Amino acid sequence: MKIATAAYPLDVLSSWAAYEDKLAHWVAEAAGKGAELLVFPEYGAMELATLAGLEVAGDLEASLHAVSERLEDADKVHVRLAAEHGVHIVAASGPANTDTRPVNRARLITPTGQVGVQDKQIMTRFEGEVWDVIGGNNLQVFDTTLGKIGILICYDSEFPLLGRALNECDIIAVPSVTEALAGYWRVRIGSMARALENQCITVMSSVVGQADWSDALGSCVGTGGVFCPPDTGFPSTGVIAVGEINAPGWTYAQVDLAQVAHVRADGVVLNRKHWSAQHGRDSLAINVHLR
């Protein structure tokens, strides 16, 4: 299959129609190139807050709820576009209200109109300490016609046990937003490590450019990338495709899930199979004094 992963700039939206037109353009472009799985980034939905005015969009608390109120309608747009183009879409994540505090929610939309929901598990310091966004539902393994797909939202990709929970997945999407090059590399390294451990494909997307109207997303650095285990049938670098930093647009990659199955069964190494060999060896290390 062909995968498209976004380096997505946020806009000040003049109307709901402007949002629909923007999304329709992005989806049509990727589908026109033959992509079957499209991955948008973390907090890409925050541009919906501008529909309530820049004062609301610039207010951390108000922006959370303004976006949450629009997510259901945004999903309807994604459902229509997924059906129209016959694609699966990981919709840009955004805050979703709960009985307590908002969560950071991504959605996987299928061509048949089904919607799978994945919330971020572990909050960054800004999300937890300033924005008061909380962790949400359990990790999900989505069984689709493209294969088994999981989602680790940005910071979640940096935690091996979260990745291990998705070890059945052929593909793990990693929607991200990072404000500095160091943040981009943390998520990219995490994505590549999860591809190595699980012997799977990981797909990183990013928000890029300036959004000066938002205290949360003022300046974003990143690009799209598709990563793999550096093993038989895959690039020795572990990189199938990667975009240019901060250049808006899609990064495309052709992947064959038969290669995933092959390296899991008979790779040069068997990281996924040998995971349990760590047990008993992962207790506290013994201090040995060599002075």
Span 185-211, pLDDT tens digits: 999 999 999 999 999 999 999 999 999
141 or 287: whose pLDDT is higher? 141
Contact 267, 229 (CB under 8 A): yes
Position 4 scores a pLDDT of 98
pLDDT confidence tier of residue 161, bands split at 50, 70 and 90: very high
Alpha-carbon gap, residue 213 to 59, rounded angstroms: 9
Contact 7, 188 (CB under 8 A): no
**In CATH, which of 3.30.43.10, 3.40.50.720, 3.60.110.10, 1.10.645.10 is domain 2-278?**
3.60.110.10
Residues 76, 221, 38: CA angle, nearest 5 degrees: 35
Neighbours of 246 (CB within 10 A): 17
Position 285 scores a pLDDT of 86
Q: Could you say which DSSP state residue 286 is in?
A: P
Domains of the chain, residue spans: 2-278
pLDDT confidence tier of residue 158, bands split at 50, 70 and 90: very high
pLDDT confidence tier of residue 108, bands split at 50, 70 and 90: very high
Alpha-carbon gap, residue 208 to 223, rounded angstroms: 7
Residue 146 phi/psi, 5-degree rounding, is -90, -15
Position 224 scores a pLDDT of 98
Position 99 scores a pLDDT of 96
State the average pLDDT over residues 267-283: 94
Residue 22 has pLDDT above 90, yes or no: yes
281 or 91: whose pLDDT is higher? 91
